[in-house]
Amino acid sequence: MRFAAPHQAAGVAVPPQPWWVRTVVYQICPRSFFDASGDGIGDLAGITAKLDYLAELGVGTLWLTPFYDSPQRDFGYDIRDFRHVAAEYGSLGDFQSLIDGAHSRGLRVVLDLVLNHTSDEHEWFVEARKGRTNPQRDWYVWRDGRQPAGQAPPTNWRSLVGGRGWHYDRGSGQWYWAQFLPFQPDLNYRNPDVRRAMLDIVRYWLDRGVDGFRLDIVNALLEDASFRDNARSWRFFPSHQSTGAFFQRPDRSLNQPETLAFLAELRALIDGYDGRSRFLVGEVVAPLDVARSYCGDHGELLNLVFLFASLRMPLRARRIRELILQYERQFPEPLMPTWVFSNHDRLRRISRLGGDLQRAKLNAALQLTARGVPFIYYGEEIGMPQARLPMAQTQDGLAHRFRRWPQALVDLLRLLAGDSLNRDECRAPMHWSSEQNGGFCPPHARPWISVAPAVSARSVAAQQGDERSLLSCYRRFLEARRASPALSAGALSLLAASELPAGVVGYRRTVAAAGEGEGEVVLVLLNACGRRRSVRISDPSLRLLVSTDVDRRSPTGGESLVLGPWEGLVLRAR
Ligand code: GLC
């Protein structure tokens, strides 16, 4: 195997790129990160208290899930007031201290923007619900039911979570549309006043210095203008492979072309705001080509979309290779893929990897070396497992419907769905130390949700000084990524499977020399199997940049490299 020397690098010369192309995002649920006030609920001051930890970890951007005023029936995704901080999370002053503290450490802050809906306690909906002639009625999606008596919902549309998305309002005898849960009525984006009001909210947070937004279920903003029915489908379980789910194809209730027109408006606002560069990342649960359409052909709409195919991807060479190829095909430069393995809605990745720390290290190596923006979910860097909590006590609004189900049935459905049905389980408090409550809140406080057992061995404190820990492995890869332009922003070319032993994935990341800047080539080798694998390296100039194995010695020139089980490493041409 031969690798081009840097000056001959075949990569694309990278023009000056915006900061977010090279960033690594760390997702924080404020409620579960760190409780500074001592009431058992994480808060904004808690995040500020942990900024040094985050800066030392080496991530670049913090994404905060919603902390706005809310009845918390969907843990903040049901917003009552977009401009206020929920009392349990602190105040606007706390937010300002957080953002200032983050910026002073070189960290960026991205907020969760829930454009699609509000809480039913939002004053707009309280007004709208007052009657058909209320001036704010049209801010939401209201329709008469089907004739003759109007007692049947206006269309056959199912919500994103499976049930009927239309809800009857006795007072006015009309139905309102809610893409998520009944207490989250959808805003009507066909009404210019709504669009204006939501863009004003964006301005409000831009003025407070935020560096971008994560857009919640952004492909749901608009519905078919003529309210036609959705077609039938054979699919029941939603997945990223098909738009079909719950036995219908939601072509009329999702992914409407007018949504892209609104996103163009939003993008123009963000880009033209005050000369600072910011980004938009969208949540679009859909097949790759549909997700990609939200970026526009050249990245002129959203900068990024979450790609969820990796969530369930088995850690096997063939699957990794296939996914990288698909991403490269669908997201060629200037588009960028994203690498997401866990989040606040889904099973934690380590629990899909059988709790195995070796595999978790290899997973991190993939996430931090493939082309794209990585999103690390809080606790992923310490291998925090999915908690197992009794469904009968779930606090997750989405899981309430299962509360009375026998556990055996819940377990069966969980198996069929391939995911947890209770989102509380991936939202357990961060394990900071072996103290009571995992150091998340003071020993005398009662955490809002149970702190999963086995805290001590996996806590931050237990791993911090241990160079063999998962946490140290994340830090090394994050450091290598920052030090290497090729790793953070270079082009990717996959090595043919035939060039490598079975089970090993290899790719080059390359930036060409441009102007004063030198080019760089790195070679990534990931051994996605539990046996040693020998790879012949014919280029004597390759040296070790980083490995999941802290004892790995750098090759000194042209020898065979024996990769350990589940080892991932990066070599750099000198
Ligand atoms: C998104 C969020 C999820 C929330 C839902 C409704 O899918 O990730 O947590 O419940 O939207 O806003």
Residue type for position 412: L
The residues near 147 (Cβ < 8 Å, ≥ 6 apart) are none
Asked if residue 4 has pLDDT above 70, the reply is: no
What are the pLDDT digits (tens) for 115-146? 999 999 999 999 999 999 999 999 999 999 99
- Supply the pLDDT for residue 455: 64
Ligand 1 atom closest to Cα of residue 78: 12
In a domain, 516, yes or no: yes
Q: Is 419 an active-site residue?
A: no
The residues near 106 (Cβ < 8 Å, ≥ 6 apart) are 55, 60
**N residues, the chain:** 574
Q: Mean pLDDT over residues 39-64, rounded? A: 98
Q: Are 291 and 284 in contact (CB under 8 A)?
A: yes
Average predicted confidence (pLDDT) for the chain: 94
Q: Mean pLDDT over residues 151-161, rounded? A: 94
Query: Ligand 1 centroid vs 329 CA: distance in angstroms?
Result: 28
In a domain, 540, yes or no: yes
The residues near 125 (Cβ < 8 Å, ≥ 6 apart) are 118, 119, 139, 140, 185
Query: Ligand 1 centroid vs 571 CA: distance in angstroms?
Result: 40
Q: Mean pLDDT over residues 430-447, rounded? A: 95
Give bridge partners of residue 504 from the DSSP assignment.
527
Of all residues in the chain, what percent carry a pLDDT higher than 70?
96
In this structure, what CATH number is given to the domain that contains residue 551? Answer: 2.60.40.1180
In a domain, 554, yes or no: yes
- Supply the pLDDT for residue 15: 55
Q: What single string gives the DSSP state of each residue in 95-162?
A: HHHHHHHHHHTT-EEEEEE--SB--TTSHHHHHHTT-TT-TTGGGB-EE--BTTTS-B-SS-PBPTTS
Ligand 1 atom closest to Cα of residue 74: 10
Query: Ligand 1 centroid vs 6 CA: distance in angstroms?
Result: 44
Name which residue sits closest to atom 7 of ligand 1, judged by CA.
Answer: 217
Residue type for position 56: E
Which of 228, 220, 93, 88 minimizes the C-alpha distance to 161? Answer: 220
Label each residue of 317-342 as H, E or C.
HHHHHHHHHHHHHHCCCCCCCEEECC
- Supply the pLDDT for residue 243: 79
- Supply the pLDDT for residue 1: 55
Lowest mean pLDDT among 5-9, 162-166, 309-313: 5-9
pLDDT band at 224 (very low <50, low <70, confident <90, very high): very high
- Supply the pLDDT for residue 66: 98
The residues near 105 (Cβ < 8 Å, ≥ 6 apart) are 51, 52, 54, 55
Q: Rounded to whole angstroms, what are the CA distances from 296 to 230, 260, 263?
A: 25, 8, 10
Of 94, 120, 283, 328, catalytic = 283
Asked if residue 2 has pLDDT above 60, the reply is: no
- Supply the pLDDT for residue 497: 96
Indicate the number of domains in the chain: 1
- Supply the pLDDT for residue 5: 44
What are the pLDDT digits (tens) for 313-363? 999 999 999 999 999 999 999 999 999 999 999 999 999 999 999 999 999
What is the rounded CA–CA span in Å between residue 374 and residue 370?
Answer: 9
In a domain, 504, yes or no: yes
- Supply the pLDDT for residue 6: 45
In a mutational test of the pocket of ligand 1, which residue from 216, 219, 347, 396 has the highest number of ligand atoms less than 8 Å from its CB?
216
Ligand 1 atom closest to Cα of residue 77: 12
In a mutational test of the pocket of ligand 1, which residue from 72, 78, 180, 187 has the highest number of ligand atoms less than 8 Å from its CB?
180
The answer, as to whether pTM is greater than 0.85, is: yes
Asked if residue 452 has pLDDT above 80, the reply is: no
Q: Mean pLDDT over residues 257-286, rounded? A: 96
State both tokens at 120.
């039913």
Asked if residue 12 has pLDDT above 50, the reply is: no
Q: Is 216 an active-site residue?
A: yes
- Supply the pLDDT for residue 516: 66
* Domain containing residue 519: 488-573
What are the pLDDT digits (tens) for 372-418? 999 999 999 999 999 989 899 999 999 999 999 988 898 898 888 88
- Supply the pLDDT for residue 465: 93
pLDDT band at 556 (very low <50, low <70, confident <90, very high): confident
Q: Mean pLDDT over residues 479-485, rounded? A: 97
Asked if residue 470 has pLDDT above 60, the reply is: yes
What are the pLDDT digits (tens) for 242-251? 778 888 999 9
- Supply the pLDDT for residue 234: 85
Query: Ligand 1 centroid vs 217 CA: distance in angstroms?
Result: 7
Of 43, 69, 211, 216, catalytic = 216
In a domain, 261, yes or no: no
Judge if the upstream peptide bond of residue 374 is cis by omega within 30 degrees of 0. Answer: no
In a domain, 414, yes or no: no
Query: Ligand 1 centroid vs 94 CA: distance in angstroms?
Result: 24
How many other β-carbons are positioned within 10 Å of the β-carbon of residue 434? Answer: 14
- Supply the pLDDT for residue 450: 86
Q: Return the percent helix, strand and coil in the chain, to nearest 5.
A: 30, 20, 50
What are the pLDDT digits (tens) for 411-432? 898 888 888 899 999 999 999 9
In a domain, 454, yes or no: no
| Contact residues of ligand 1, CB 6 A cut-off | 74, 77, 114, 180, 216-217, 283, 344-345
Backbone angles phi, psi at 109, to 5 degrees: -130, 125
3-state secondary structure of 491: strand
What is the rounded CA–CA span in Å between residue 108 and residue 87?
Answer: 24
Residue 5 CA to its chain's centroid (Å): 36
- Supply the pLDDT for residue 538: 81
Query: Ligand 1 centroid vs 263 CA: distance in angstroms?
Result: 19
Asked if residue 8 has pLDDT above 50, the reply is: no
In a domain, 323, yes or no: no
Asked if residue 11 has pLDDT above 80, the reply is: no
Asked if residue 468 has pLDDT above 70, the reply is: yes
